[in-house]
Chains A and B, each alone.
Chain A
Amino acid sequence: MSNGVFGIGTSGLLAFQRALSVTGNNIANSATEGYSRQRIDLSTRTPQFAGNGYFGSGVQVGGVQRMFDQFVEMQLRSSTSASQQYGLLYDFASRVDNLLADQDSGLAPGLQQFFSAVQDVANDPTSNAARQVMISEAESLVDRFSFLHQRLGEQRNLVNGQIQTSVQEINSLAEAIGDLNKEIVTALGRAGGAPPNDLLDQRDQLVLELSERVSVNTTEQDDGALNVFIGNGQNLVLGSRVTVLAAEALGPDINQIQVGYVSPGGTVDITQYMSGGRLGALLDLRSSVLDVAQNSLGRTAIGLAESFNAQHVLGMDLDGELGEAFFRVPEPEVTAGAGNSFAGLPDVQITDYSALTLNDYRLRSNGTDWELRRDPGGQVVGTVAPGATLTVQGITIDMTGIPAGDAGDTFLLRPTRNGAQQIDTLISDTRKVAAATPEVLASVGGTNTGGATIQSVEVADASALTSLAPVTVTYEEGPPTQFVIGGDTFPLDPTPPVATTIAYEGWQLVIDGVPDDGDSFQVSFSTAAVGDNRNALALAGLQDQRMMAGGSSTLEGSYNTLVAEVGTKTRQAEIAARSQAKLLDESRAQRESVSGVNLDEEAANLLRYQQAYQAAAQVISVTNSLFDTLINAVRR
């Protein structure tokens, strides 16, 4: 019997020692990230039958359990993914947003100042200073375009770099999870099913860190291993087997870092399936903020260059010559797919800047024809046969010399991507600013003998003018009776009253009557009209012309649309980041509620187990004194 009480006391001592060690461990790990508090399970030992009933025989330790809720953990993972995603998206997007809408570095003030300078030329077309200011403002506007483009490019490089970093981190986390899976399976087997709590905590912590990078799904196997899936079901960790992700250029653009899934059959592009976490934010940012911003800037640059040039070449400069192109018009970017079965690029031109969209395109062969698809998205916007041309959404694709190719051959077309980078000023000489509108004059030759007179002369189609050099119109009696300019002939219109209309290279001359053979008429341009500001007024008027996006917005308006778009995106990201942070707090609180260590609770446990331990010791002491009593009694 005394043996029994001894045993009971000893079992209590041992059990409470363990309990105190669990409590101590809880206190020690109260600040450990991912630690779940542990609880000792105590149970009674098997009772012994002693004739008149069952007598308890002490306490035993059933096991150490971690306080953990699988549902709460999953909630925490998804909140972490979303919170990281929107937080990072907001960070990056607000940088772009601040850049675009900045009062000093944004495009809007540059456009405004440039057009103001054009107005000043209209105010004072002969002033060299006003012309110089206009050219300088054009140069600084072009600089602004390229500055903004470069800043966006820097963000793009940063994003590409971070995608690579994220993928590397995902790989090493996956590796670590695989290793832990192995250890956990072994530990479980060795302990006959007793959970290795601290290893499980470590693994959950790694999965949580993984979900900061990308959204994950998990399932637990019977043997204790955790399988991790990303994207739309790609397995990252299966037991102890880990699949590696690659971050490299998988498309035609060698600078575009994509996420690849490395399988024995080759690397598959799974970029489009990646969502959530930092990786999701980076990919979203690249396609919906940076691409849109650079394309939109490029489109504005192309619109400015094309429209300004179109009006400028109608004008006349201070040297009495037709205006030249003022801006260099950016060219579309065309890249061939790396695996194309032939060399060569289609010729892509911007033919209608007002119809341009912000889309990029992929031209993909189906073996017989080429399909033009939006990229990303994939909607087919047109089909073109080899050797034919296709005009769609403001661009014209000339496939001359391009064969049908193998199915899957591809070209990447980005009509507007580099517009802001490539726009440049072509005019540096102030005399070349075409502020005047050419005025055509006509006079009757001094030695004419016939009575023909000039009824009228006018510029009928300014865009058809090729030169402002004087032209002589000579009459020949022939036959046939005709007017001659160089090699061109214009027959006399004999129907009375005789008046012949001569339309030549954009101007139109009407001569009344029939001249004598050899009579001549001079057509010249008022090249000394340096005070004419009509073309400058027309150029300044472009500022308010709705020419972009199918005639729905002005140059400034199209830029403002971009600012609004990025602003809204940033705003959304900010709101989402805030609400996700709240949700994350909530999930954390829930996890803490279940798994967190409360020091007061542990202090109470400490006291409780200490007292129990002291009591158990007392049991042994009492048993001992009972034994002494008995011995003493016997000795007497």
Chain B
Amino acid sequence: MRVSTTQIFRNGIGAIQDNQQGLARTQLQLGTGKRILSPSDDPSGAVQALQYRSTVEKTEQYQRNANLAEQRLRLNETILTSVGDGLQRVRELALAGNNASQTNETRSYLGGEINQLLDGLVQLANTRDANGEFIYAGNISLTQPFTVGPGGEVIYDGDSGQRALQISPVRRLPIGDNGQSVFMDIPEGNGRFVVRDVPGNTGTGVLDVGRVADPVAWASDAGDYTISFGTNTAGEQVYLVTDGVGDPVEPVSGDPDDAPLYVAGEAITVAGIEFRIEGSPADGDSFTLSPAGNQDLFTTYRELAEALQTPSESPADTARLNNAVNRALQNLDQALGNILDTRATVGSRLKTVENQMNINEDVLLQLKTTLSGIEDLDYAEAISRFNLQQTSLQAAQQSYVQVQRLSLFNYL
């Protein structure tokens, strides 16, 4: 093929320019450390990189969410521990108060300490987090959830909402419990039923805890019952059982002569429930049996403190005190159980958060590794390419100069 002078020139310049372009590109790659300089270098890689980068940011957001969840859960755990400690102390005080060696004065000290602990409990229940939100207020989180009414009763103004945070694409984790479930909805008695003395009893009848002897019978007949004491015509002490609307249940006739005799410490069975009364109730004294409702922890504290601070002047007073303390002990145990359950839940959530954070950490590492594989430069390859391009540019320049020197006119 014939070669024109212009073509020789063009070829030489073209080769130099091509080599310079390649060199500039490799230089830019080396400078930025990126394999993909513009998306069209590798369209699918560029889009993958976009997707991976977005997933990395999403995961980092989940990680921030998880951190926040962990803080909230730790705060919860701390508060619940304090509440549990307070409960233990109240329980000790209740046991101490039940001791016959206590005088009215020492008991009122005990009651005073319980009142102090009650104030502390209200404060704990109104704890705020770093953002100023009440952590036990449900969703009404800017309103103080627990307020003390004029009669000393504590009212809950929160709701039953529970905040959840997104800690992974598929996992929403509750980060707290509302005050209703922690402090208010605590079952009374032993959780199934509750027996209590009626205020104004003049005898010394003291109730025990009782048990469900026949679950099927209790399940079908669970209702309110009253056990009242009287005397039959033979002068023996008997007890009569009536139901919630006053109809006699035992005996069905309602006649004291048909009623069972009272023997101290012997089991009394009503609707599948078995309980004992110690001491000697007076005629006209009565006791109630009802299915367990809920009693909030504050009321339990307050009733116990009140019982301990009421001076005991007679055996009947002592019986009332004993009954009140026994009941309070049951309620305290229920509350302790509730707090422990809640703590266990918080603990398992914390565990979940920690696991998820570890998983997120792993995912992040993987994502970043993959992302780097997609868009980062293989330096070894790039540097050797750079050297090669440099050499070929030099060769092109040198050969161009050599060829340009060749001309027939030089010899004319």
Residues of A within 8 A of B (CB): 30-31, 37, 93-94, 97-98, 100-101, 103, 106, 108-109, 111-113, 115-116, 119-120, 122-127, 436, 439, 526, 528-534, 537, 540-541, 543-544, 556, 560, 563-564, 566-568, 570-571, 574, 585, 588-589, 592-600, 603-604, 606-607
B84: Cβ under 8 A from any A Cβ: no
Distance in angstroms from A137 CB to nearest chain B CB is 12
Distance in angstroms from A187 CB to nearest chain B CB is 26
Question: Which of B3, B44, B139, B172 has a CB less than 8 Å from the CB of A530?
Answer: B139
B138 engages A529 (CB within 8 Å)? yes
**Interface pick from B147-155, B158-166, B334-342:** B158-166
CA–CA, A439 and B158, complex, Å: 13
Residues of A within 8 A of B2 (CB): 593-594, 596, 598
CA–CA, A294 and B73, complex, Å: 47
A593 engages B138 (CB within 8 Å)? no
Chain A interface, DSSP helix/strand/loop, else mixed = helix
Residue of A nearest to B72 (CB): A123
CA–CA, A109 and B179, complex, Å: 40
Residue of B nearest to A604 (CB): B408
CA–CA, A592 and B10, complex, Å: 10
Residues of B within 8 A of A122 (CB): 65, 165-166
A599 engages B409 (CB within 8 Å)? yes
Residue of A nearest to B411 (CB): A603
A116 engages B131 (CB within 8 Å)? no
> Range of interface residues on chain B?
35 or more
**Interface pick from B45-53, B87-95, B244-252, B317-325:** B45-53
CA–CA, A111 and B139, complex, Å: 28
CA–CA, A540 and B40, complex, Å: 32
CA–CA, A103 and B36, complex, Å: 13
Question: Which of B3, B43, B65, B163 has a CB less than 8 Å from the CB of A568?
Answer: B43
B57: Cβ under 8 A from any A Cβ: yes
Question: Which of B46, B141, B172 has a CB less than 8 Å from the CB of A531?
Answer: B141
CA–CA, A384 and B331, complex, Å: 75
B5 engages A531 (CB within 8 Å)? no
B407: Cβ under 8 A from any A Cβ: yes
Question: Which of B39, B131, B142 has a CB less than 8 Å from the CB of A570?
Answer: B39
| Those 6 A-B pairs whose CB atoms lie nearest each other, nearest first | A596-B4, A531-B141, A567-B43, A570-B40, A529-B139, A532-B139
B43 engages A564 (CB within 8 Å)? yes
Residues of B within 8 A of A544 (CB): 169
Residues of A within 8 A of B159 (CB): 439, 526, 529
A30, A123, A607 — most chain B CB neighbours (10 Å): A123
Listed A/B pairs (9) with beta-carbon separation below 8 Å:
A37-B4, A109-B53, A123-B64, A126-B132, A126-B142, A528-B142, A532-B163, A567-B39, A600-B408
Residue of B nearest to A594 (CB): B2
Per-residue CB contact flags for chain B residues 168-205 toward chain A (1 = under 8 Å, else 0) read: 01001000000000000000000000000000000000
CA–CA, A574 and B25, complex, Å: 15
CA–CA, A31 and B6, complex, Å: 7
CA–CA, A603 and B4, complex, Å: 13
Residues of B within 8 A of A594 (CB): 2
Residue of A nearest to B164 (CB): A537
19 additional contacts (CB under 8 A) given A530-B139, A556-B51, A600-B5: A101-B38, A101-B39, A101-B47, A101-B50, A120-B64, A126-B133, A127-B131, A528-B140, A529-B138, A531-B137, A532-B139, A537-B164, A543-B58, A564-B46, A564-B47, A592-B3, A593-B3, A597-B4, A599-B5
Whether A596 touches B140, Cβ cut-off 8 Å, given contacts A119-B61, A556-B54, A560-B50, is no
B68 engages A123 (CB within 8 Å)? yes
Whether A98 touches B38, Cβ cut-off 8 Å, given contacts A531-B139, A564-B43, A598-B2, is yes
B100: Cβ under 8 A from any A Cβ: no
B14: Cβ under 8 A from any A Cβ: yes
B412: Cβ under 8 A from any A Cβ: yes
CA–CA, A540 and B161, complex, Å: 19
Residues of A within 8 A of B166 (CB): 119, 122, 537, 540-541
Residue of A nearest to B140 (CB): A528
Residues of B within 8 A of A560 (CB): 47, 50-51
Distance in angstroms from A69 CB to nearest chain B CB is 12
A123 engages B46 (CB within 8 Å)? no
Distance in angstroms from B22 CB to nearest chain A CB is 12
Residue of A nearest to B165 (CB): A123
Residues of A within 8 A of B138 (CB): 529, 531
Residues of B within 8 A of A606 (CB): 412
CA–CA, A589 and B40, complex, Å: 30
B408 engages A531 (CB within 8 Å)? no
A597 engages B6 (CB within 8 Å)? yes
CA–CA, A531 and B143, complex, Å: 10
A439 engages B161 (CB within 8 Å)? yes
A119 engages B65 (CB within 8 Å)? yes
